A and B are shown apart, each in its own frame.
Chain A
Amino acid sequence: AQRVTQPEKLLSVFKGAPVELKCNYSYSGSPELFWYVQYSRQRLQLLLRHISRESIKGFTADLNKGETSFHLKKPFAQEEDSAMYYCALSGRISNFGNEKLTFGTGTRLTIIP
């Protein structure tokens, strides 16, 4: 069974301070990890995926298979980063592709001005 754990339901950070949103997973195979974000009054949307190794809106996330973690980081928080963040995992399903996602419970990030 695959599982995603986000230990922090709430996280408050001062503007300009570094941000780290924690995500741990359990999966016996080769996982693919994603971060989704939901801004106030907007829909849930993809922020970044680990296979792309990209930085989106200043956020990065590195897959650490030894620690089974995929923490989301940003060196300097901005007020517009306040949102709900969900970590998601996709195990490889041969006949369906990689969109059958398992989500964590989410972390509500609040940036304090």
Chain B
Amino acid sequence: EADIYQTPRYLVIGTGKKITLECSQTMGHDKMYWYQQDPGMELHLIHYSYGVNSTEKGDLSSESTVSRIRTEHFPLTLESARPSHTSQYLCASSGGLLYNAGELFFGEGSRLTVL
């Protein structure tokens, strides 16, 4: 079934740890995105990708990095997590054969807590 998957859903880790948030989609989409959302705040675009080997930084500066080696996969990595990284991270994708402008498909989100 076509979908977009994020793992882990919840993660609690200590300061200084390296973490990777996984995002995979089977939608056949070429564009993928990472948004960061703090409680009660707007979603901020932190990374996006046009396709394989394409990554761009979004509107909100982030210490995280991303890679796009495969069309389906768009992982986000924090080399050394800090409490300021505590947030919800939403992955999304768009494009494909049934493309509608402005329609993003979101995953369930990864809620990260750094102690």
Write the residues of chain A forming the contact surface with B, with a CB cutoff of 8 angstroms: 4, 9, 32, 34, 43-46, 49, 51, 86, 88, 90, 96-106
| Residues of B80-105 whose CB lies within 8 A of A | 90, 94-95, 100-105
Write the residues of chain B forming the contact surface with A, with a CB cutoff of 8 angstroms: 31, 33, 35, 40-45, 48, 50, 58-59, 90, 94-95, 100-109
Interface pair B90/A44, CB less than 8 Å apart: yes
Partner of B31, one of A34, A99, A103: A99
Query: Which secondary structure characterizes the binding site on chain A?
Result: strand
Interface pair B102/A4, CB less than 8 Å apart: no
Interface pair B102/A99, CB less than 8 Å apart: yes
Interface pair B94/A104, CB less than 8 Å apart: no
Interface pair A103/B102, CB less than 8 Å apart: no
In the complex, the chain A residue whose C-beta lies closest to that of B94 is A99
